[in-house]
Structures are given as C-alpha cells and as structure tokens.
Amino acid sequence: MSDEKTTPASVSNLTQNPPRASDGSEKSLEMAIGLELRAFRRRQEVTVAELANRTGLSIGMLSKIENGNTSPSLKTLQTLATALSLPITTFFRGFEARQAPVHTKSGEGIAIEEAGSQAGHQTRLLGHINAPSSGIIAKPYLVTLRAEADIFPALQHGGTETIYMLEGEMDYRHGDTLFRLTAGDSLQFDADRPHGPATPEDRTVRYLSIISAPQHT
C-alpha cells in the first residue's frame, strides 16, 4: 500500500474557540476533589453504583463530583470519606500539590536516550508538569535531527502528541500517512499509533514535541 502524503492543513478545516479565562481557584478545587475521589474509588475497586449505595448519594451526583462539575458540601465529603475509609483531607491533596511553573533556560534540559536513537538524533526534555486539576501529565521535548541521523525508529505511547516545527523541513509519519512539515507547521495526533520522523529534507530539523497523557494514580 502506498503512503498517502498530505499537509496538516488538508486534514480538516479546524474551527476552535480560543481558551477561556479560568473560573478561578474554586473550579480548580472542584476538579482536584473529583480526581482524588475517582482515584481512590478505583484503587479500592468500588463502582459508582456501590459508592452510591454506601453513601445514599445518586449516581448522577457522584458523576458530577468526580468530573468537577459541582462543589460538594463538607457534609457530602465527610460521607464519601467515611464510605471509603479515608480522612476527609485526602480530597484536598491534589489542590494543595499544585506545581510552580517550570522555567528551563536555553541549552538546558535533560538529554533523553530513546530506544533505537542514532547519531544526529537529539531529544531534550524541557520540563514535566503533573497537573492535578487537569488530570494530565504534560512533557515538552525539543528534538533536533541532523543529516547523519539516517534511522528513525517508530514511536508509540499513550496520550496525544503535538508537533510544532521550528526549523527545516521533513516528512512525519503517523500510521500509514506522511505529513510534509515545514517551519511554523503543527501536527497533533493520537500517539497510540506508530509515528515518527521520516527522512528530513534539510541538514538540520528542529521541532517541539509536546506529549499529554492521563495521570496514572
């Protein structure tokens, strides 16, 4: 089967609303409580229906709490804590554990050795944020490919990945499709499918790779 080659813009006509301002600390607290509740319920292998039976809360209400769509009262939190044999303060740990911004100076970052990496293929981890209120882990990488990097192993991992081209031109493979990327282009995709750079067109190619994946609790 021949590879289909396309450009990112031809995949679909994207329409997206710009990010809205945060609802503030209250919404973040609701999200943190919901994530902690879901994590401990699953860890104890308790279904939503079982928790509803233990607490007298409806399945719909529990779903709203776990998804951060409602602000539970302290009485409700105490009821949930008792049902799961947890201290009530457990639900606030994610909110208290917010991370400060990660500032990485130019030339710094952690060099990453990936399986199958060849000479001329350099990957640097620029930061690592485990955001309790969002439920995701975000890892930005700066990838540099040089002409001598003649072997490019296929990558495959969980979550989604966003590529933003900084310099050069290359074909990037996702599944059976090749995307031609030049400086200023971006590509976002499901990272569960095999992906990775094909042969670069220029002596040096540099791009940002941002991987976002669910937290594993």
pLDDT in tens, 69-105: 988 888 898 899 999 998 888 887 766 555 556 556 6
DSSP assignment of 142-205 equals EEEEETT------B--SSEEEEEEEESEEEEEETTEEEEEETT-EEEEETTS-EEEEEESSSEE
Domains and CATH numbers, the chain: 25-96 (1.10.260.40), 102-214 (2.60.120.10)
Those residues with Cβ within 8 angstroms of residue 32's Cβ, 6 or more apart along the chain or in another chain: 68, 91, 92, 93, 94, 95, 132, 133
Beta bridge partners of 141: 125, 209
Q: pLDDT of 97-142, one tens digit each?
A: 555 565 566 666 666 554 444 444 566 666 656 555 556 777 888 8
**Could you identify the residue written with the tokens 């000479």?**
119
Q: How far is it, in rounded angstroms, from Cα 217 to Cα 42?
A: 9
Nearest 5°: phi and psi at 52?
A: -60, -40
**Which helix (H) or strand (E) covers residue 6, if one does?**
strand 4-6
Q: Collect all residues with Cβ–Cβ distance below 8 Å to 133 and sequence separation of at least 6.
A: 27, 28, 31, 32, 35, 68, 94, 95, 98
pLDDT digits (tens, 9 = 90+) for 20-58: 444 444 457 788 888 889 988 999 999 999 999 999 999
Predicted structure pTM score = 0.50
* pLDDT reported for residue 30: 85
Share of the chain above pLDDT 90, in %: 20
